[in-house]
């Protein structure tokens, strides 16, 4: 049974979905990611879907679930790299994904997570780098 690898990069977890997701794989990913967020004390999750040729309502629901679950655990998720044809299709399908943060690519997604992390630090009153 194959698994989707989860990489740790600093405060963040990085997942690249490269295979056609079937139901069990999607469920395993939800379980693995939430466990890793807790174990690694991750502050953010980056999900790269640039290799996905379609996002149907099943995969869309999985992405929304992951975003909600990790947010509950204190880690923001960002979905990056959606193909233009996929974006056109999911909007016509009627899927808004409005609870899922998205960014154009890995760089922009990472920038979003870092900005989020810095924002959190300020909210705590802990200036990361006081001049």
Partner 1 sequence: MNPTRSETFQLQTSDDVIRMRQMVRVWMVEMKFGLVDQTKMVTAASELARNALAYGGGGSVCMEALADDGRRGLRLVFEDQGPGIADLELALTDGYTTGGGLGLGLSGSKRLVNEFAIWSAVGEGTRVTIVRWTI
Kindly list the residues in this chain that would bind partner 1 in the complex (CB under 8 A).
20, 22-24, 53-58, 60-61, 83, 85-86, 88-90, 92-95
Packing angle, helices 57-72 and 23-39, rounded to 10: 10
Question: Smallest distance from the beta carbon of 62 to partner 1, in angstroms?
Answer: 11
- If the CB atoms of residues 8 and 24 are measured against partner 1, the closer one turns out to be 24
Report whether 71 contacts 101 (CB < 8 A): no
- Is residue 30 within 8 A of residue 56, CB to CB? The reply is no
- Tell the smallest beta-carbon distance from residue 99 to partner 1 (Å): 12
**Shortest Cβ distance from residue 91 to partner 1 (Å)?**
10
Helix (H, G, I), strand (E, B) or coil at 2: coil
CB nearer to partner 1: pick between 24 and 41: 24
> Could you tell me the smallest distance in angstroms from the CB atom of residue 29 to partner 1?
14
Nearer residue to partner 1 within complex by CB, 94 or 128: 94
- Considering the complex, state which of residue 56 and residue 107 has its C-beta at the smaller distance from partner 1: 56
Is residue 37 within 8 A of residue 73, CB to CB? The reply is: yes
What span, in angstroms and rounded, lies between the C-alpha atoms of 65 and 82?
17
Residues with Cβ within 8 Å of residue 118, at least 6 apart in sequence: 128
């Amino acid at each position: 049974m194959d698994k989707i690898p989860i990489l740790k990069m600093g405060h963040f977890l990085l997942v690249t979905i490269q295979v056609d997701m079937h139901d069990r794989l999607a469920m395993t990913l939800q379980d693995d990611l939430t466990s890793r967020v807790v174990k690694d004390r991750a502050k953010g999750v980056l999900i790269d879907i640039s290799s996905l040729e379609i996002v149907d309502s099943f995969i869309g629901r999985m992405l929304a679930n992951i975003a909600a679950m990790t947010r509950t655990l204190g880690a923001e998720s960002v979905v990056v790299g959606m193909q233009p044809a996929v974006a056109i299709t999911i909007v016509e399908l009627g899927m808004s994904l409005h609870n899922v943060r998205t960014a154009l690519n890995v760089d922009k997604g990472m920038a979003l997570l870092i900005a989020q992390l810095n924002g959190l630090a300020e909210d705590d009153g802990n200036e990361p780098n006081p001049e």
